[in-house]
Amino acid sequence: MKILGISGIEGSIPFKQAHWPGLDEREYRISQGHDSAAALIIDGKVVAAAEEERFNRRKHSGAFPIGAINYCLQEAGLTVDEIDEIAHGFDYAPYQLLFNLDSFTKELYEEVFSKESLLKLVQRDMPGFPVDRVHQVGHHLAHAASAYFTSGWDECLTVVIDGMGEAHSVSIYHAHGGKLDLVHQLSSNDSIGILYSLVTLHLGFDFNSDEYKIMGLAPYGNSERYRSFFDKAVELQDDGSIRIPILRLNRTRDERENYLNSRQYLGEHLIAERHPDVEITDAHRDVAASLQACLDRTMEHICSHFARKLGLRRLAMAGGVALNCTANGKLMRSGHFDDIFIQPAAGDDGVALGAALYRASLGGDSVNRRLPTPFFGPASEPDEIEEAIAEFGDQIVATRFETLEETCEEAARLVAAGRVIAWFRGRMEFGPRALGHRSILADPGHPAMRDRINAMVKMREAFRPFAPAVTLEQAHQWFEIEPGTELPYMIFIVKVLEAHRDALPAITHVDGTARVQTVSTRDNADFHQLLCAVGRATGREMLLNTSFNVKGQPIVTTPQEAIDTFLKTGIEFLFVENTLLQRAGS
Amino acid sequence: MNQHTTTHSKLIAIFTEKLNLEMPKPGMDLLATNYIDSLALVDLILNLEEQFGLRISLETLDLEVFRTLDSISRFVESGQTV
């Protein structure tokens, strides 16, 4: 079976813009269906997957993912006609009656959420595709499938935790024997994801987008200062569920759509709302710290309760909240689990993968193997690269190396000399993290490196830490993890060994932690080879690894975008496969 | 306590403690007055399932069941699965 999974709801933000004109741009993200993507599964195996933003160049785009679909088809050498099914990672059909309760929600259902509205988009962008081959999979079920069917485990607890799916914020499954048995669900009115996003918005950042920045800000603050507020706001129940009364303060349509009363409550009982241009103070840092600590406790409360109840010690997770590396790291160290697997595209891009994997499992096509480092996106052919280099003409100078080994030696030499390099190689990553194929790299041992990279390319908030990539063989020498621990997706926070914190200033956060990525020869061989070369040059098989993009821009996809971004920033050297590019005259 | 009183107590707890709503007056049309909207109804259904041990299918739902407090009481007391 050839199944194309898709995610995103194109009409969501336009519908909100039409009905609530004049909102702050950030408030339009209080809506459903961002981060659209496509994933192609053939006979149960992932063949290709990519986010639409990488093709239409609009960050977090929720547009129908025709760019990503075309890429997936091209990668597999298929035409649309050869696809057996399309599976969409939302299914509002069971809720139609509820949406009919009032004229507004009825219109929202018909124009945005219904299968008919999806089919219109399919017909617009994939004309002639048979409508009876388009299927919908419940949002949380798709998230759960994305985690379970890539975990490599026959049996585990599977937890989905996000802002909201169609109507729920948490879904607990007992996954076993290729099936996902639903155990418990929490209403979206008790969504820890929505609360986290509302506080993110309240602190002057973007809802449904900037939550990771609050996670990065949290270690600078005092988590006790606002603990009593969050203890009251999020009630932990004996049955493993939670209640968040302040999300139920909204009565009218306006209030409910934009959480007006909840936000007012935050302003009156927590802290005044911060405008994005206003300086971040200790109070903001303390709110971030208290919120993060609240999330840590909540995740542990929910996951540990159902693990005990079902007698399971393996946990697979997905959903946007599962991208919170700090909470994941705390959960890993909590002792409740022997092993935790977070599907790396845990946000809504991942439901494209999950919807397809779920439909494949129904047809008996399930291949439950541990997901490798997710290089499921496009690579560039040598002629495409040469064409891109030619396009930029005399702006750049190219040095071509014969082998990967020579390329790595030169890159390592530059890194050891304190230079910042961009590294574009192989297939693009699926999911939000650059894992060594579309990365900006530097030596983590240089004290000023964080500020330098921020100034030359990222233009991002100074408080946010950079992450390290380290060989699997050396990871335990630098970080508090057991030898051989694989953390290939950069999705867990671990502690930097105290003895090395001062020597690794560019990747050690203020609380002594780091969002580490381990790199193995098995599924990230080229990047491993580079790290080994860096190890010979610096004594550490480790690099600072951050995504190859500038603020507000999706990660680069093509060699043209790589060169263009390189030229517009202060990055000093760009490696595109085995070719080193420098600015002419530099 | 008889069954009706027990049901009433549990409904009071659901509306006031779980859903953070004021207790509706008997006979009040909960749907026409927008007292509960689509998401609040999902919330109510989740709580009814949990408190009364019911399984309620959203696809085959009869909305009339949720129109008044009395109709909800009758529904949960009959132990029906819809």
pLDDT tens by residue, B9-24: 889 889 888 888 888 8
Report the range of poorest mean pLDDT among A29-38, A147-156, A243-252.
A243-252
* Chain B residue with minimum CA distance to A100: B38
A476 annotated active-site: no
Q: How far is A113 from chain B (nearest CA, A)?
A: 14
pLDDT at B37 (0 to 100): 82
pLDDT at A246 (0 to 100): 96
Quick: pLDDT tens for A57-104: 999 999 999 999 999 999 999 999 999 999 999 999 999 988 988 888
Model confidence at B1, pLDDT cuts 50, 70, 90, reads: low
Interchain CB contact of B78 with A (< 8 Å): no
Number of C-beta neighbours around residue A57 at 10 A: 14
Handedness of CA A355, A13, A18, B36 (dihedral sign): positive
* Residue B82 clears pLDDT 70, i.e. is over it: no
Distance between terminal CA atoms of chain B? 27
**Residue with the two structure tokens 């009825």:** A106
Q: State the average pLDDT over residues A171-177.
A: 98
pLDDT at A563 (0 to 100): 98
Cα(A181)–Cα(A234) distance, integer angstroms: 27
Give A185's contacts in chain B (Cβ within 8 Å): 46
Q: How many CB pairs under 8 A join A and B?
A: 54
**Do the chains contact at B61 and A187, CB–CB below 8 Å?**
no
pLDDT at A354 (0 to 100): 98
> What is A175-233 written as a DSSP string?
EETTEEEEEEEEEGGG-HHHHHHHHHHHTTS-TTT-HHHHHHHGGGS-TTTTHHHHHHH
The three-state secondary structure class of A580 is strand
* Residue A209 clears pLDDT 80, i.e. is over it: yes
Shortest CA distance to B56 belongs to which of A185, A563, A282, A349? Answer: A185
- Which residues have C-beta within 8 Å of that of residue A430, sequence separation ≥ 6? A37, A39, A49, A50, A51, A344, A345, A349, A353, A374, A375, A376, A377
Q: State the average pLDDT over residues A156-171.
A: 97
* Residue A340 clears pLDDT 90, i.e. is over it: yes
Quick: pLDDT tens for B26-61: 889 998 888 888 878 888 998 898 889 888 888 778
Interface of A with B (CB under 8 A): 93-95, 97-102, 105, 167-168, 185-189, 243, 245, 248-249, 253, 256
pLDDT at A159 (0 to 100): 98
pLDDT at A464 (0 to 100): 82
Q: How far is A178 from chain B (nearest CA, A)?
A: 24
Model confidence at A458, pLDDT cuts 50, 70, 90, reads: low
Give B39's contacts in chain A (Cβ within 8 Å): 167, 187-189, 256
Between A394 and B38, the more confident residue is A394
Model confidence at A493, pLDDT cuts 50, 70, 90, reads: very high
Q: State the average pLDDT over residues A7-26.
A: 95
Report chain A's mean pLDDT, rounded to a whole number.
96
Distance between terminal CA atoms of chain A? 53
pLDDT at B63 (0 to 100): 87
Active-site position among A34, A174, A336, A509: A34
Residue A524 to residues A262, A324, A374, Cα–Cα distance (Å): 45, 23, 10
8 Å CB contact between A231 and A291: no
Quick: pLDDT tens for A20-54: 999 999 999 999 999 999 999 999 999 999 999 99
Q: How far is B16 from chain A (nearest CA, A)?
A: 11
Quick: pLDDT tens for A471-490: 999 999 999 999 999 999 99
Model confidence at A137, pLDDT cuts 50, 70, 90, reads: very high
Model confidence at A323, pLDDT cuts 50, 70, 90, reads: very high
Q: State the average pLDDT over residues A170-174.
A: 98
**Do the chains contact at A167 and B20, CB–CB below 8 Å?**
no
Quick: pLDDT tens for A356-379: 999 999 999 888 999 999 999 999
Residue A241 — left, alpha, or beta (φ > 0 → left; ψ -120 to 50 → alpha)? beta
Nearest CB to B39 within list A189, A245, A249: A189
Report the range of poorest mean pLDDT among A93-102, A262-271, A503-512.
A93-102
Cα(A251)–Cα(B34) distance, integer angstroms: 9
**Do the chains contact at A185 and B46, CB–CB below 8 Å?**
yes
Model confidence at A447, pLDDT cuts 50, 70, 90, reads: confident
Number of C-beta neighbours around residue A274 at 10 A: 18
Model confidence at A245, pLDDT cuts 50, 70, 90, reads: very high
Handedness of CA A287, A159, A512, A460 (dihedral sign): negative
Q: How far is B51 from chain A (nearest CA, A)?
A: 12
pLDDT at B80 (0 to 100): 58
- Extract the tokens encoding A395: 């702006």
Q: Indicate the DSSP class of residue A112.
A: I
